């Protein structure tokens, strides 16, 4: 906005006052005149609107205070500064009704010009700051999106290191991501889960889910890829993948010097997704709510996907069989509320399984 070409509306019911103030300002500004509150409000509806209003407080019928309130109540005119003209100074009342400043009547030319110039400069500065803020927000959004995409790529790269060494596929990672998200959204209004399952935390869970088996990178191929039943000693080694996964995420947290929801969920899921609700799982033998919420969701998602997937050592079970097996494990292997949530979103689970089937690549 060029201040020298700014539009100033002067509102006064006395013609001689309008002529006088017009002569004070017309050299610097484009001046518009109104002799009533209604006329002023009508002018303010037309574009281009005035950049500033000089308004007599004591207008008849619709006084200046009412005019100012109406201007401030509309998003189109709320930011336009209003300078009140008062014969009897009452600055408190003027500011309470939204005035930017007050000038005493009779008006002195030097005072009016100084106040108008000041407030037009202030408005110009605010508009520049707003533009700079919007530009900065846009840049931050672009950088945040780029960092988010890089993070997603790194998560998939790390998670795939473990999955491709075993019998899993990349689609297994996608499926468990979406299963966990579906369970979380179903449980969002449940009293046991609502405090933690905010939209932001659900997004963090979605990102963290693929890292559940990252610790398997440290398991020897002879054990990880063995098609036969593991010996007790081999199983003890296999169980260490939860510890290795936890330590990998914890090392990242220590290196950064802080944690966040994504890292916390990734660590919890990696370490505790093999725990069972009755305390018979590993590595800690946790039970009930002592098992992190994120791990309880992953337990259901991971087992369901394992059941419906074909492996060299087992056929794929049907969806119905998998659902029944998980239902039977409610309260023993699985959190009953998470199982109930799964049964409620059963069709969504089927849709996810079909959308990201191994055959679909």
pLDDT tens digits for range 61-73? 999 999 999 999 9
Confidence of residue 3 (pLDDT cuts 50, 70, 90): very low
pTM for this predicted structure = 0.61
Whole-number percent of the chain with pLDDT over 70:
93
* Contact assessment for residue 179 and residue 235, using Cβ atoms and an 8 Å cutoff: no
Higher pLDDT, 360 or 237: 237
For the segment 182-203, the average pLDDT, to the nearest whole number, is 96
C-alpha distance from residue 142 to each of 134, 149, 206, 319 (Å) = 12, 11, 21, 41
> Residue 2 pLDDT more than 50?
no
C-alpha distance from residue 60 to each of 231, 245, 271, 311 (Å) = 97, 77, 76, 87
Mean pLDDT, the chain, whole residue set? 91
Domains (range + CATH), the chain? 3-135 (3.40.50.2300), 164-360 (1.10.3210.10)
Strand order in the sheet with 52-56: 30-34, 7-11, 52-56, 82-86, 101-104
In DSSP notation, 235-246 reads HHHHHTHHHHHH
Q: Kindly state the helix (H) or strand (E) to which residue 10 belongs, with its residue range.
A: strand 7-11
C-alpha distance from residue 94 to each of 43, 64, 85, 292 (Å) = 22, 9, 9, 58
Measured CA angle at 83 (ends 89, 8), to 5 deg: 145
CA dihedral of residues 114, 119, 124, 126 (deg, nearest 10):
140
DSSP 8-state assignment for residue 166: T
First-to-last C-alpha distance (Å) of the chain: 56
For the segment 128-151, the average pLDDT, to the nearest whole number, is 80
Confidence of residue 343 (pLDDT cuts 50, 70, 90): very high
Residue 142 to residue 146: CA distance in whole angstroms: 6
Confidence of residue 5 (pLDDT cuts 50, 70, 90): confident
State pLDDT tens for residues 93-124: 999 999 999 999 999 999 999 999 999 999 99
* Contact assessment for residue 286 and residue 279, using Cβ atoms and an 8 Å cutoff: yes
Poorest-pLDDT segment among 161-175, 182-196, 301-315: 161-175
Name the residue among 239, 6, 21, 46 with its Cα closest to residue 113.
21
pLDDT of residue 153: 67
C-alpha distance from residue 341 to each of 33, 184, 269, 345, 348 (Å) = 67, 9, 19, 6, 11
């Amino acid at each position: 906005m060029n201040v020298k070409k700014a539009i100033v509306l002067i509102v006064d019911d006395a013609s001689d006052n309008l002529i006088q103030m017009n002569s004070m300002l017309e050299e610097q500004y484009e001046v518009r005149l109104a002799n009533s509150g209604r006329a002023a409000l009508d002018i303010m509806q037309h574009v281009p609107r005035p950049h500033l209003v000089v308004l007599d407080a004591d207008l008849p019928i619709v006084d200046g205070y009412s005019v100012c309130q109406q201007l401030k109540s509309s998003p189109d005119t709320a930011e336009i500064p209003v300078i009140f003209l008062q014969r009897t100074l009452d600055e408190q009342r003027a500011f309470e009704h939204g005035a930017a400043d007050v000038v005493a009547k009779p008006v002195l030319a030097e005072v009016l010009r100084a106040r108008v110039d000041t407030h037009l400069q202030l408005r110009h500065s605010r508009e520049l700051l707003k533009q700079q803020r919007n530009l900065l927000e846009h840049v931050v959004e672009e950088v945040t999106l780029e960092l988010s995409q890089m993070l997603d790529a790194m998560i998939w790269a790390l998670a795939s290191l473990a999955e491709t060494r075993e019998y899993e596929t990349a689609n297994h990672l996608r499926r468990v991501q979406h299963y966990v998200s579906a369970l979380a959204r179903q449980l969002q209004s449940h009293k046991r889960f609502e405090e933690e399952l905010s939209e932001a935390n659900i997004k963090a869970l979605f990102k963290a889910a693929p890292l559940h088996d990252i610790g398997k990178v440290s398991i020897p191929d002879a054990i990880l890829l063995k098609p036969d039943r593991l010996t007790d000693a081999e199983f003890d080694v296999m169980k260490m993948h939860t510890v290795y996964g936890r330590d990998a995420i914890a090392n990242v947290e220590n290196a950064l010097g802080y944690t966040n929801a994504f890292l916390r969920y990734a660590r919890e899921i990696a370490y505790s997704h093999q725990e069972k609700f009755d305390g018979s799982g590993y590595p800690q033998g946790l039970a009930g709510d002592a098992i992190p919420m994120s791990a309880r969701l992953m337990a259901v998602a991971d087992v369901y996907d394992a059941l419906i997937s074909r492996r060299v050592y087992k056929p794929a079970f049907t969806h119905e069989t998998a659902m029944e097996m998980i239902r039977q494990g409610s309260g023993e292997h699985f959190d009953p509320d998470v199982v109930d949530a799964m049964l409620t979103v059963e069709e969504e689970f089927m849709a996810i399984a079909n959308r990201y089937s191994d055959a679909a690549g």
